[in-house]
Structure 1
Amino acid sequence: MADFATPEFLDELKSLYPAPSNYVDGDWFLAAGIAFSSSNCPDGVPRVLSYALEDLDKLPGTSDEDCRLLVRKMRDGIFKSGMISGYPKAINALATLYEATPEVLRDTELLRDPSRSKEEIAAAGQAYFDSTYGDTAATVQPMLRSIYPDLEHFTTKLGYGYVYAFLEMTSAKETSFAMISALIANDTPRQVEWHLTGAIRNGATVEEVRAVREIALRIAVKAGISLKHEVPNI
């Protein structure tokens, strides 16, 4: 149970992220929702959603489209995070998110284009992989291929191609935030370090990346996750 997901704790998490000019661009809620999911506290996800929607409702000029985008960002971010934290956790988190989402803000159609060819998907995946890893892609991708060719094929063609490279709801940097938020509770410092740097390559500021790291870390600690390794920073 995420009883610690109180309004006061969510206030604290929100304060860590640099204040944006547009609330929906302030990715604290994305990082928090994914961190609750990855920390196996799916009941924290609807609390983040409700808090963020209430914040939006207080702002002048907020439209249904603003609210819909916020929901879509959380949903797509959790979907992407399932590649790291596991889809059982993502399913549980998405189920609680769905139940808490006002009916008018629920999607009933696919967001990803099912008519895209496998070649298009693979090319998009390679492009986002290269964007994320930069110069290190030339060593990371062959490493994946050498330890298990199927892993490299799946990672770049499907994981990055179909899941991560869809950037219409969660941008390149927000997708990096999804990875970081999921990885911290998994206690995998090597990959955390990769994606802290990857987020910078994908357009995030150092301040934003540090905020996402801290949000995910505080949730993991509150959730009782026992971290055996120090979490890298940037």
Structure 2
Amino acid sequence: MADFATPEFLDELKSLYPAPSNYVDGDWFLAAGIAFSSSNCPDGVPHVLRYALEDLDKLPGTSDEDRRLLVRKMRDGIFKSGMISGYPKAINALATLYEATPEVLRDTEPLRDPSRSKEEIAAAGQAYFDSTYGDTATTVQPMLRSIYPDLEHFTTKLGYGYVYAFLEVTSAKETSFAMISALIANDTPRQVEWHLTGAIRNGATVEEVRAVREIALRIAVKAGISLKHEVPNI
């Protein structure tokens, strides 16, 4: 149970992330929702949503489109994080998010275009993989292929192509944040290090990346996750 997801704790998490000019671009809520999901505390996700929506509603001129985008970012970020933390966790988190979402802000149709060809999806996946890994793509991708060819095919064509490379809701850097937020509770430092750097390549600042790392780490610790390895920093 995420009984530690109090307003005071969420205040603390929000304060870690650099204040944006547009609230919906302040990715603390994205990182927090995913970290609760990956730490197997799906009941923490509605607390993040309600807190963020209440915060947003305090601002003048907030519209349903602003609210809808905030919810979509959390939803798509958790969906993307399922590739790392596992879809059972993502399903549980998305279910609690759905229950807490006002009906007017729920989506009823897929956001990803189901008519896209497999060639288009594969090309998008390779482009986002290259963007994330930069020069290291030439060593990481062959490594994936050598340890299991099916893994490399799945990663670049489906994982990156269908899931990660959809950037119309969660941007390139926010997708990196989703990966970081999920990886920390997984206790996989090698991949954390990859994606801390990948987030910079995808347009994040060092300050933003450090904030996402810290948000995910604090939630994992509060959730009782036993980390056997030191979490890399940037």
SS in 2 for 1:192: helix
**Separation in structure 2 between the aligned mates of residue 110 and residue 135 of structure 1, nearest angstrom:** 33
CA–CA separation in structure 2 for the residues paired with 1:111 and 1:59: 27
User: What secondary structure does 2:42 align onto?
Assistant: coil
Separation in 2, partners of 1:149, 1:68: 39
Could you list the per-position Cα deviations for residues 8-60 of structure 1 after superposition, in whole angstroms to 9, with x for gaps in the alignment? 00000000000000000000000000000000000000000000000001000
Measured after TM superposition, the shift of residue 62 of structure 1 is: 0.2
TM-score for the superposition, normalised by structure 1: 1.00
- Percent identical residues: 97
d(CA) in 1 for partners of 2:139, 2:46:
40
CA deviation string 1:153-194 (max 9, x = no partner):
000000000000000000000000000000000000000000
Give the corresponding residue for 1:78. 78
User: How much does 1:83 deviate?
Assistant: 0.1
Q: Per-residue CA shift, 1:194-214, capped at 9, x if unaligned?
A: 000000000000000000000
Q: How many residues are paired up? A: 234
Q: Partners of 2:2 and 2:23 in 1: how far apart?
A: 24
Three-state SS of the structure 2 residue aligned to 1:232 is: coil
Aligned partner of 1:21 in structure 2 is 21
The residue that corresponds to 2:223 in the other structure is 223
Unaligned stretches of 5+ residues in structure 1: none
Q: Which residue of 1 aligns with 2:143?
A: 143
Q: Which runs of 4+ in 1 moved over 4 A?
A: none
What do the CA deviations read for 1:62-112 (whole angstroms, capped 9, x no partner)?
000000000000000000000000000000000000000000000001100
CA distance in structure 2 between the aligned counterparts of 1:87 and 1:128, rounded to whole angstroms: 22
Deviation for aligned residue 1:6: 0.1
Matched residue SS, 1:159 = helix
After superposition, the C-alpha distances for 1:91-135 in whole angstroms (9 at most, x for unaligned) are 000000000000000000110000000000000000000000000
Question: How far apart are the structure 1 equivalents of 2:143 and 2:109?
Answer: 37
Counterpart-to-counterpart distance in 2, 1:136 and 1:233: 18
Whole-Å separation in 2 of the counterparts to 1:170 and 1:46:
19
Alpha-carbon separation, structure 1, partners of 2:169 and 2:218: 26
Q: Distance in 2 between matches of 1:17 and 1:128?
A: 25
SS in 1 for 2:204: coil
User: Secondary structure at the residue paired with 2:55?
Assistant: helix
Q: In 1, distance between residues paired with 2:170 and 2:47?
A: 20
Q: In angstroms, what is the RMSD of aligned CA positions?
A: 0.2
Tell me the TM-score normalized by structure 2.
Answer: 1.00
Query: What CA distance in whole angstroms lies between the structure 2 residues aligned with 1:180 and 1:56?
Result: 25
Counterpart CA distance in 2 for 1:160 and 1:184 is 20
Cα distance in 1 for residues equivalent to 2:183 and 2:110: 26
Unpaired stretches in structure 2, ≥5 consecutive residues: none
CA distance in 2, matches of 1:70, 1:197: 25
User: Could you say which residue in structure 2 is the equivalent of 1:203?
Assistant: 203
Distance in 1 between residues matched to 2:59 and 2:200, nearest whole Å:
30
> Partners in 2 of 1:202 and 1:228 — Cα distance?
29
SS at match of 1:43: helix
